[in-house]
């Protein structure tokens, strides 16, 4: 963990840095392995990730995951595809040791793609323990024909 602390310590020094690391760690060219140690470093050990998805009939499914669950869920896709997720807007609310970030994202398979194939909004909860920032929760919903991203989040 000491090497991780030195290697990733800048990732947790500010809200902007940790949000950048959140997107950067899962992005990469097809065949590039993601840095899961970095992912584990920016998330609190008790963090939760929650994804809203839809079945073939359009019924909402809520997928709750620990960080380990998320890595197992995402790893085959992220390791096997070109995937670049990046922030296109954020709104930060902060009080004392807590922060909430509305972070609108876009996804491309290749950085040169002219338009993203997907967009959505992440609701990110953060904790500052007086030493560093931690991601406590990421809760996301992709844009769909039924749910467009509101203008205030673009």
State the pLDDT at residue 79.
Answer: 85
**pTM summary value:** 0.93
104: nearest Cα among 61, 146, 148, 137: 148
Please name which of 86, 85, 81 lies closest in space to residue 29, comparing C-alpha atoms. Answer: 81
- What residues does each domain of the chain span? 2-153
pLDDT for the residue numbered 3: 65
pLDDT number for residue 2: 58
Supply 45's token pair: 């050990």
| pLDDT value of position 101 | 98
Q: Give pLDDT tens digits for 8-42.
A: 999 999 999 999 999 999 999 998 999 999 999 99
Q: What is the pLDDT of residue 80?
A: 87
CATH code of the region 2-153: 3.10.450.50
Residue spans of the chain under pLDDT 70:
1-4
Residues 6 or more apart from 124 whose CB is under 8 A from it?
19, 22, 100, 101, 102, 103, 135, 137, 138, 139
pLDDT at 58: 84
3-state DSSP assignment of residue 8 = helix
């Amino acid at each position: 963990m000491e090497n991780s602390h030195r290697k990733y310590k800048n990732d947790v020094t500010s809200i902007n840095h940790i949000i950048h690391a959140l997107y950067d760690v899962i992005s990469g060219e097809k065949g590039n392995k993601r840095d899961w140690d970095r992912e584990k470093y920016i998330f609190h050990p008790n963090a939760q990730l929650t994804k809203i998805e839809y079945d073939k009939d359009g019924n909402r499914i809520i997928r709750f995951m620990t960080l380990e669950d998320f890595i197992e869920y995402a790893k085959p896709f992220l390791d096997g595809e070109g995937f670049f997720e990046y922030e296109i807007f954020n709104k930060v609310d902060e009080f004392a040791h807590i922060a909430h970030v509305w972070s609108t994202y876009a996804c491309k398979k290749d950085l040169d793609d002219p338009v993203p194939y997907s967009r959505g909004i992440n609701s990110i909860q953060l904790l500052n323990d007086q030493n560093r920032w931690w991601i406590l929760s990421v809760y996301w919903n992709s844009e769909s024909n039924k749910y467009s991203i509101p203008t205030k989040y673009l």
